[in-house]
Amino acid sequence: MNDDLLQKITVRKLKSDDLDAIVEIDCRVLGTRRPSYWRQKIEEMGNEQLSKSLVAELNGKVVGFIMGTVSGWGFGVPNTIGWVDTIGVDPDCQKRGVATLMFRAILEEFKKDKVENIYTLVKWEAWDLMCFFKAIGFTRGDMINLEYKTK
Ligand SMILES: CC(C)(COP(=O)(O)OP(=O)(O)OC[C@H]1O[C@@H](n2cnc3c(N)ncnc32)[C@H](O)[C@@H]1OP(=O)(O)O)[C@@H](O)C(=O)NCCC(=O)NCCS
């Protein structure tokens, strides 16, 4: 882990102006440019009080983001749930602690809202995310993901 890099990183609230930077990081990670998808996601997360989304900046450039909200859910899940919806770090800055730094920061935001449990969903094949969440202390939860295929 490169501490020099982390010392230069600042974490702040995500703003709608960060859209282009997030689209760029996503494109560098997954190889597809999806501005409308991210615009909609930022709008959905937009409620200042519920959205806990943050970005990591290096020398004024956004190099990572974490999107999260505080919410309840149906099916008996109480109001004190923090959701980590998505996280991404610029490939040039990965494996240097940036995602961990952002998670610690969003954790503090969640705690201010008395969140006791944080949930996230990870695709089975997304091993980088799976390893990351495991490394920072996530374990398998007691919700089961069900799906029904219409075709
Ligand atoms: C998963 C991800 C967020 C991790 O970010 P990061 O800043 O590199 O993570 P950190 O440096 O804080 O890693 C902390 C720990 O997580 C684990 N980890 C992180 N990335 C890993 C990987 N690719 N493979 C295995 N373990 C990994 C390691 O244990 C690491 O600790 P270590 O460096 O001491 O070994 C980053 O790889 C990413 O953005 N991946 C793409 C995720 C995605 O598809 N997002 C949606 C579109 S942008």
The pTM for the full model equals 0.95
Residue from 4, 26, 122, 128 whose mutation best tests the ligand 1 pocket (most atoms within 8 A of CB)? 128
Helices (H), the chain: 3-8, 19-30, 35-44, 98-112, 127-135
15 phi/psi in degrees, rounded to 5: -115, 160
- Ligand 1-lining residues (CB < 6 angstroms): 1, 25-26, 29-30, 86-89, 94-100, 128-129, 131-132, 135
According to the model, what pLDDT value does residue 49 have? 72
CA of 30 to the centre of ligand 1 (A): 14
Residue (of 104, 10, 110, 13) closest to 63 by Cα position: 10
Q: Strands 117-120 and 81-89: what pairing?
A: parallel
Q: In order of start, what are the domains of the chain with their CATH numbers?
A: 3-135 (3.40.630.30)
pLDDT, one tens digit for every residue, the chain (151 residues): 546 899 999 999 999 999 999 999 999 999 999 999 999 999 988 777 778 999 999 999 999 999 999 886 666 667 789 999 999 999 999 999 999 999 999 999 999 988 999 999 999 999 999 999 999 999 999 889 999 999 9
According to the model, what pLDDT value does residue 47 have? 73
